[in-house]
Amino acid sequence: MAVENVTKIDGERVQLQQGDIEPGTGTAGLETQVPGQATTVSAAASATGDIKPGNLIEPDVDEQLFKFQSDDTPLMQLALVAKTIKVNSPEVEHSMIDEPKAKVTTTADVSSGAAQATLPLSATDARIPQEFGTLLVKGVNGYDITGQTETQGKYLMLFVTGFDATTGYPIVRAVNGPKTNATDEYCTMPEIPAGTECIIMSNACHETQKNVAPDLITPKSEVVYLQKRIMNSVVSDYFADQKKHNPAFTQALIAEQAIANYKVRTNRSLWAGRKGKFQVRAPKTGGMEYIWFSEGILWQFKRAVKQTEAWDYDRFIALAKIYYTGEDVPKTGICLCGKNALESIQKIDWSKHQEVMVSQNTNALGWSITKIHTVFGDFEFKREPTLDRLGYSNSFAIIGENRLVRYVRSSEHSFNERIEGAEASRSGIINWDALVLKGNCHIWVDGGDDDTATIGTAGSTGAALFEFVTSEPDSPDENTVYYFLNPCTFSDGTTVNTGDMLVYSDETWKLYTGVAVQG
């Protein structure tokens, strides 16, 4: 530390001496932070360069400055009300059950005229249809009960009778296909082009049947690390016994500010902590012990929306559609926003859309929020100061409140104890937990901060990156789902309607159906 360092006390410049504690600065540049130091008279004197034992004089203290407000750390508040699961280990297998596929797609043509045929599917899709199952063939017309008249727009349905021993393809029979004679009991197969989508329907069983092939559900698990966090406050007996100029400056206020610091920093870890573990030597036991680090939710999102333009009505409604009409539909949409993203949302012109209701409310968590009601569902907007601190002021996260899980090894508890060999008391909080996103409904909305479009989605199974466009992209990315805000016709003749979501795969545009596009 430089000897010439000075600080200002009661209007006078006082030189700090060698061995004094140099106060660190907080976010406002004020020299109020002395990390790692116990609250003692000596430490306070060293930090200020003037306060000496027996002469501890403090100016008035704004009590509101020290009072911790719960909505300053909204993600941590969500964690506290999330579904809590008590565990006995710092490493937990977090299991997700994926939404089953709704469609399979043919990979080759099916010829007409046969009583039954094998349905060519990809190796992955071929295992999905089961014997006695039914499939609705989109784009292929069925026939009336006589089998003589084609029913326009009323699709063909297939019945799965078994599997081909050589190819593994399902063997299907037409339910409402063409008939050679109106009195025939069985139909023949119409032609089914390659690339035809077949929607998976329920099974159909005969009179005395009791058994069908069971559904095999294999949860995909991921190991989650629980992080142990501790808040400590050490106050010497001598400091506690001093008569302060301001009666409000008490141990309670010191402890309250310590808790505020603890929760603000924990909130940042819940957002952006990185997963890991390694061993350190424990001073008390002298042995090696593990430290675990939890993964923040920024890296857990399965869906991201890239939106760097100014928000308008069309883009906002498109976002509501993506969030509330996916495979995993949440009950709520809590939007934790950076300051610039929140400002952009507030500037949307709703005057021509009276069906959208914007109101100021206090939600179930006690937050003052802006609530926007759409036909798809409601959004609750709340500023999240931590996102600004992390550098994501232009972005925000949409979180389903009922889709959060908090694994807890040791419930949050406090302690108060005397420090052996010292005239001082220690109080603190111990917490050992991890916050995990459940399902894939949650969306990270990328506003252009540090290429955040890849947050959470890179390499994730079931992940998707969405981007709003008004025309055919010049160089489409195979890992991006394009949401079309306007109808348009592509150069190859493909017609796209407003609200269509397409993904570019194998040099072909396909409708996005919610399945994984990367990972």
Task: Say which residue, 401 or 268, is predicted with more confidence.
Answer: 268
Return the H-helix or E-strand segment holding 268.
helix 251-272
**Largest separation between any pair of C-alpha atoms in the chain:** 110
Please return the burial class of 288, using the count of CB atoms within 10 Å of its CB with bins 0-12, 13-18 and 19+. Answer: exposed
Lowest mean pLDDT among 14-23, 235-244, 310-319, 339-348: 14-23
Give CA torsion, residues 271, 277, 278, 284, to 10 deg. Answer: 70
| DSSP one-letter string for 295-348 | PPGGGT-SEEEE--SPP-HHHHHHHHHHHHSSSS--S--EEEE-HHHHHHHHT-
Q: CA 148, CA 180: separation in Å to the nearest integer?
A: 8
Question: Would you give the distance in Å from CA 341 to the centre of its chain?
Answer: 17
Question: Which of 67, 68, 70 is closest to 81 using CA atoms?
Answer: 70
Predicted structure pTM score = 0.76
Question: Which of 22, 2, 75 is closest to 334 using CA atoms?
Answer: 75
Q: How confident is the model at residue 64 (pLDDT cuts 50, 70, 90)?
A: very low
Six-digit token string for 189: 């197969």
Q: Is 286 helix (H, G, I), strand (E, B) or coil?
A: coil
- Per the CB < 8 A criterion, the answer to whether 447 and 308 are in contact is yes
Task: Say which residue, 492 or 391, is predicted with more confidence.
Answer: 391
Q: CA 341, CA 391: separation in Å to the nearest integer?
A: 12
pLDDT > 50? residue 1: no
Six-digit token string for 78: 């969500």
Amino acid letter, residue 356: V
pLDDT reported for residue 459: 59
- Per the CB < 8 A criterion, the answer to whether 172 and 158 are in contact is yes
pLDDT reported for residue 151: 93
Question: Would you give the distance in Å from CA 86 to the centre of its chain?
Answer: 21
Contacts of 410 (CB under 8 A, 6+ apart): 228, 430, 431, 432
Which of 187-196, 210-219, 361-370, 442-451 has the largest mean confidence? 187-196
pLDDT reported for residue 225: 92
Q: CA 15, CA 5: separation in Å to the nearest integer?
A: 6
Where does 12-136 have alpha helices with state H? 41-48, 63-66, 74-81
DSSP bridge pairs for 375: none
Please state the rounded mean pLDDT for residues 494-498: 88
pLDDT reported for residue 124: 80
Q: CA 367, CA 362: separation in Å to the nearest integer?
A: 5
DSSP bridge pairs for 430: 230, 413
pLDDT reported for residue 410: 67
Task: Say which residue, 111 or 32, is predicted with more confidence.
Answer: 111
pLDDT > 70? residue 372: yes
Six-digit token string for 291: 């430290």
Q: How far is CA 336 from CA 78, 166, 414, in A?
A: 11, 54, 29
pLDDT > 50? residue 63: no
Q: CA 434, CA 35: separation in Å to the nearest integer?
A: 25
pLDDT > 60? residue 299: yes
Question: Would you give the distance in Å from CA 300 to the centre of its chain?
Answer: 6
pLDDT reported for residue 19: 47
